[in-house]
Structure 1
Amino acid sequence: MSSLPERSEIDEEYKWSIGSIYASDEEWEDAYESVRERIDDVRAYEGRVTESAATLRELLETYEDVMREVATVTQYANLRSNEDTRNQEYQAMASKAQSLSAEASSASSFIEPELQQLDWDDVESFIDEEPALAEYEHYFDDALRMKPHTRSAEVEELLADLSEVTNAPSETYSMLSDADMTFPSVEGPDGEEIEVSQGNFTTLLQKPDRDFRRRVHESFYEEWADVRNTVGTTLAKSTKKDVKLAEARNYNSAREAALDGPNVPVEVYDNLVGTVRDNLDSLQRHAELKRRALDVDDLEMWDVYMSLTGEEGPDVSYEEATDMVVEAVAPLGEPYQRRMAEGLESRWVDVYENRGKRSGAYSAGTYDTQPFIMMNYQDDVSSMYTLAHELGHSMHSELAKEAQPWQYANYEIFVAEVASTVNETLLTQHLLENADSDELRLHALDQYLERFRSTLFRQTMFAAFEQQIHEHVEDGKPLTPDVFDDYYGGLKEEFYANAHVDDHIRREWMRIPHFYYNFYVYQYSTGISAAAAIVERILDGGEDAAADYRDALKAGGSEYPIDVLDIAGIDMTSADPIESAIGVYDEYLGRAEELLDL
């Protein structure tokens, strides 16, 4: 029987170098206690933020010192807890760190309300008195911009104190899906029992044996049916939380509140959903091509992840993947390429799945640590693309940290998903031109098409679902599992009009953790649209265009995300990048049709 290894069975070279943060858990504990005591240093400035330019400068410097250490303490604990969600010691550590973060946020919640007592003339006067404050000019602008949606210092402190409570639906869902749920084993084509997991589910749906895929699909979603009411409750409460917090800050909707944080116009969201829905014929062309390639009468939901070749892709070891990804980013410049290679050698990546490990993949880190990439690498083409994706995030963080002070090193997700998808696009270009086999070349083309399908179309479908369920609550209606099924199933039927939407897939919403992230997923779709346009500029314009893109990455959070993308030559307030991305998708569908002679 195929089974997952325990973490102790995985070689150290395939684990992230978490010791680069703290050498031991005891050292973490010392750091935790030290920074917890220093939180009062920030509280000491309450009521004094605008007392003088010198006081404001001192406060901001103290706040930075404390919050940088809080972030590092929290990061270490989260990474440890994600290594094995069954480990109660590390879950307790993560809980302590979250409480610390909430305490620090509460202790500093007075800063922006007090800053908002100033007007821009006052800010300029303070900068004249203390030139060091000029570094915070964008921060001041952002704080004053949010003035209509910031409550009194007392209310802001209360909202900050409640963060542990308001995060409860997401944390409950995570513990249920990653730690407590176990999925049945399914008999494989050769008779071997194969354990289904969150990490390998979509990989198993790429196996050639169609009946095996059906069994995986049905057994996986039947397991979710057993926790239907629990997951329905967590998502309903999470959605209501978004709505209530938006109301508390005087927004008209949860969506408006979520997009106003990074200062992204709501029209960008509407523009995305509308443009994609107007072009569903391209998605359905892909579905029909897949049906013909698989030679089936009806495309079923357990066929959707299958390769157009009808075969498993070639095995790609982790070492092979790192080589190809590093080679692929050459158009971004030698320093970028070299830094990525050094990071891989420095064990940025936690590579393989183990029992209890958090599902999925992400890139994390703080201003004072190296990047950390979590993966559940499966030795396939898809995993290679995921590696490229997460390395895009990590390199973005490295460039921003090197170029920006602490307060601007973090960047909005709206921009982050561009960096990750540029790497994916460059990987496709590289493999189409340099792969040493037609098999790999064809699977790279197929993978790119799948990335478009799952990113531009699937994430936009998710965005439409998020909007529907939030508006449902805003209309005063209760959310139930049946309501979720109806909304999600209706969208699935709209997007996959020429495929069979079965009852199991109507509950797919239950397995999507991003629905707890409050209007997050649309940024994957805008990201792939912007990335396609950026890569086209780089391949046409060479080093000048690559330099524009690197400058955009280096900007970090020093400008609003729409303006950051403008540095790279992309206007996301128009439909042009989205329509261009769909044009690329259609072009590659045509190439696939030619290669497959379909």
Structure 2
Amino acid sequence: MSSVPERSEIADEYMWDLTDLFADDEEWEEAYEDVEERLADLEAYEGRVTEDAETLEEVLELRESIMREVSNVAAYARMRKDEDTTNQTYQALAARSQSLAADASSVASFIEPELQELDREAIDAFVDENPELETYEHYFDDVLRMKPHTRSAEIEALLADLSEVTGAAGDVYNMLTNADMEFPAVDDPEGEPQRVTLSNFAKLQKHPDREFRQRVYEAFYDEWSEFRNSVGTAYKNSVKADSKLAAARNYETAREAALDGPNVPIEVYDTLVDTVEDNLDVLHRHAELKRDCLGVDDLKMWDLYAPLAGGESPEVDYEQAREYVIEAVAPLGEAYQERMAEGLQSRWVDVYETANKQSGAYSGGTYDSQPYILMNYQDDITSMYTLAHELGHSMHSELTSEEQPYVYSGYEIFVAEVASTVNEALLTQHLLETVDDEAFRRHVLDEYLERFRSTLFRQTMFASFEHRAHELSEDGEALTPDRLDGIYHDLKSQYYDPADVDDRIAREWMRIPHFYRAYYVYQYATGISAANAIVERIDEDGEEAAADYREFLRSGSRGYPLELLKTAGIDMSTPDPVESAIDAYDEMVGEYESLQ
């Protein structure tokens, strides 16, 4: 049986170095206790926020100092837990850090309601009196914008206190799927049992042996069926929490609340779904191409991940992947390229899958630390693209932290997914231009098509699913597992019309962790659309467009998402970027067809 290595078997150079945050758990404890003690200092400002310009600056700076340390405490605990999700010591640290974050948010919750007692003229007078407050101009604008949806200081404190409870469904789901569920082993074509995991399922679905893919597919989704009531209950309560929290802030729906946070108009969401669903014929063309390349009469659900190129992915070890990705970002400028290379040498990345490690991949870290990337690298082309993707996030964070004060150091997911996908597009261009091996090139082109399929079309399908689920719940209808299966099966049948959509695939919604972050997934689809348009600009205008893009990356959250994207020359208020992305996808499908 193939085995997943223990963490102790991995060389240090392939593991992230968390000492940039804390040298050890003892230092973490000291920071935790320091934050706890300092909360009283912040609490002492309640009722005094708008006393005068100097006091306003003091309270904002104190809050930022505390929240920076809370962020460090939470990041360290989370990443230690993610190294081994069964480690109860770090489960406890993560739980304590979540409680600390909730306490800090609760204590600080009086600040914005007090600010909202002022009007724009009064805030401008404070800025004139104390020029240090000019830094907060966009922040003040955002606070005043949210006045209709901000409650009294008492209710804001209560909502902050309840954050752990309202997020409990996602925590339960995460522990169930990463620590408690164990998928079966399936015999490969050589008769060797292969353990199926959340991390390797997609890779196993690319195996050239169709019967093996089918066995993996059936075993995987049959295991989910054993937990359908638990997962269904978790998701039902997550949806209810979304809607209840929205109502508490005077929104009519969870979607309205989720999109108003980053100030993204509802029309952007609807335009995305409508534009994609009006162009499903392009996705159907890709599905028909896959059916023909595989030489099968019916495209089954266990065929969807199988490569057009045939056979397993060419092996790409981690060192080669790093080299390719660094070379690929050359159009973004020498300084960008060198900073990325330095980061990869500085143990930003926790590379390989190990026993009980958190599945998937993400880019983390804090304003005060280096970026950190969790991966489960599988020595294939897909993993190379995932590395490029997460490095896009990390470089976005690096450039923002270097340029912006802490108040703007974060950035909305709506723009975050642009940076990651620009890197993917540049990697595709680089590999197709520089690699001569025809089999490798076919796999790269296939990877590009699969990422477009799974990011633009699949994530839009997910967006449609979660919106329908929320609408039903908000209309008072029960979200049973059967009902959710039915919604998902109908959508899968619509999106993959040329394929044989069986009953097992109706459970796919159960394995999507992003559904526990309300109205999150659509931003992958808008992100790839914007990224495609940015790369087209760089191809046409060279350094001028690259400079605009770097300026966008350095802006952090000092502006609303649609405004920031206009810095890079992209207008997401129109369907143009989505239509352009679909055209690019269609062109690549045609290019692959020409190779047949």
- Name 1:19's counterpart in structure 2: 19
Structure 1 distance, partners of 2:84, 2:308, is: 35
Deviation at 1:71, TM superposition (A): 0.5
* 1:526-581 Cα shifts (integer Å, max 9, x gaps): 00000000000001101000000000000100000000000000000000000000
Structure 1 distance, partners of 2:54, 2:443, is: 60
2:190 maps to 1:190: yes
- Where does 1:358-373 land on structure 2 (aligned, <5 Å)? 358-373=358-373
2:474 maps to 1:474: yes
Residue ranges of structure 2 left out of the alignment (5+ in a row): none
Q: Is the 8 A contact 2:309 2:439 kept in 1?
A: no
2:441 maps to 1:441: yes
- Name 2:521's counterpart in structure 1: 521
* 1:465-506 Cα shifts (integer Å, max 9, x gaps): 010000001101111100110110110000001101111100
- Name 2:460's counterpart in structure 1: 460
- Name 2:49's counterpart in structure 1: 49
- Name 1:237's counterpart in structure 2: 237
Structure 1 distance, partners of 2:235, 2:280, is: 28
2:3 maps to 1:3: yes
Structure 2 distance, partners of 1:285, 1:41, is: 62
- Name 2:451's counterpart in structure 1: 451
Instruction: Please tell me the residue identity of whatever aligns with 2:534.
Output: I
- Name 2:165's counterpart in structure 1: 165
Deviation at 1:102, TM superposition (A): 0.4
Structure 2 distance, partners of 1:474, 1:74, is: 33
Instruction: Please tell me the residue identity of whatever aligns with 2:214.
Output: R
- Name 1:549's counterpart in structure 2: 549
Task: Report SS of the residue matched to 1:252.
Answer: coil
Residue ranges of structure 1 left out of the alignment (5+ in a row): none
2:499 maps to 1:502: no
- Name 1:180's counterpart in structure 2: 180
Deviation at 1:132, TM superposition (A): 0.3
Instruction: Please tell me the residue identity of whatever aligns with 1:95.
Output: A
- Where does 1:309-320 land on structure 2 (aligned, <5 Å)? 309-320=309-320
2:60 maps to 1:73: no
Computed over aligned residues only, the root mean square deviation of the Cα atoms, in angstroms, reads: 0.6
Structure 2 distance, partners of 1:460, 1:35, is: 41
Structure 1 distance, partners of 2:117, 2:192, is: 68
Structure 1 distance, partners of 2:436, 2:116, is: 60
- Name 1:411's counterpart in structure 2: 411
Number of matched residues? 596
- Name 1:224's counterpart in structure 2: 224
- Name 1:213's counterpart in structure 2: 213
With normalisation by structure 1, the TM-score equals 0.99
Deviation at 1:442, TM superposition (A): 1.0
Deviation at 1:509, TM superposition (A): 0.5
Q: Is the 8 A contact 2:54 2:130 kept in 1?
A: yes
Deviation at 1:121, TM superposition (A): 0.1
Structure 2 distance, partners of 1:498, 1:271, is: 25
* 1:285-305 Cα shifts (integer Å, max 9, x gaps): 000000000000000000000
Instruction: Please tell me the residue identity of whatever aligns with 2:200.
Output: N
2:590 maps to 1:593: no
Task: Report SS of the residue matched to 1:373.
Answer: strand
Task: Report SS of the residue matched to 1:189.
Answer: coil
* 1:378-425 Cα shifts (integer Å, max 9, x gaps): 000000000000000000000001110000011100000000000000
Instruction: Please tell me the residue identity of whatever aligns with 1:167.
Output: G
Q: Percent identity?
A: 65
Instruction: Please tell me the residue identity of whatever aligns with 1:134.
Output: E
* 1:267-321 Cα shifts (integer Å, max 9, x gaps): 0000000000000000000000000000000000000001101211100000000
* 1:437-488 Cα shifts (integer Å, max 9, x gaps): 1111111110000000000000000000010000001101111100110110
Structure 2 distance, partners of 1:409, 1:100, is: 21
Structure 1 distance, partners of 2:562, 2:477, is: 34
Structure 2 distance, partners of 1:53, 1:136, is: 12
Structure 2 distance, partners of 1:207, 1:469, is: 33
Instruction: Please tell me the residue identity of whatever aligns with 2:438.
Output: D
Instruction: Please tell me the residue identity of whatever aligns with 2:377.
Output: Y
Deviation at 1:252, TM superposition (A): 1.5
Deviation at 1:245, TM superposition (A): 0.5
Instruction: Please tell me the residue identity of whatever aligns with 1:459.
Output: Q
- Name 2:101's counterpart in structure 1: 101
Task: Report SS of the residue matched to 1:375.
Answer: strand
With normalisation by structure 2, the TM-score equals 1.00
Instruction: Please tell me the residue identity of whatever aligns with 1:466.
Output: E
- Name 1:204's counterpart in structure 2: 204
Structure 2 distance, partners of 1:379, 1:315, is: 6
Structure 1 distance, partners of 2:178, 2:12, is: 23
Instruction: Please tell me the residue identity of whatever aligns with 2:188.
Output: G
- Name 2:290's counterpart in structure 1: 290
- Name 2:302's counterpart in structure 1: 302
Structure 2 distance, partners of 1:419, 1:328, is: 14
Structure 1 distance, partners of 2:320, 2:310, is: 23
- Name 1:578's counterpart in structure 2: 578
Q: Which runs of 4+ in 1 moved over 4 A?
A: none
Structure 2 distance, partners of 1:252, 1:339, is: 45
Instruction: Please tell me the residue identity of whatever aligns with 2:211.
Output: D
Q: Is the 8 A contact 2:301 2:501 kept in 1?
A: yes
Deviation at 1:436, TM superposition (A): 3.7
Instruction: Please tell me the residue identity of whatever aligns with 2:120.
Output: W
Deviation at 1:229, TM superposition (A): 0.2
- Name 1:247's counterpart in structure 2: 247
Instruction: Please tell me the residue identity of whatever aligns with 1:423.
Output: N
Task: Report SS of the residue matched to 2:500.
Answer: coil
Instruction: Please tell me the residue identity of whatever aligns with 2:221.
Output: Y
- Name 1:390's counterpart in structure 2: 390
- Name 1:423's counterpart in structure 2: 423
Structure 2 distance, partners of 1:179, 1:413, is: 27
Structure 2 distance, partners of 1:517, 1:384, is: 26
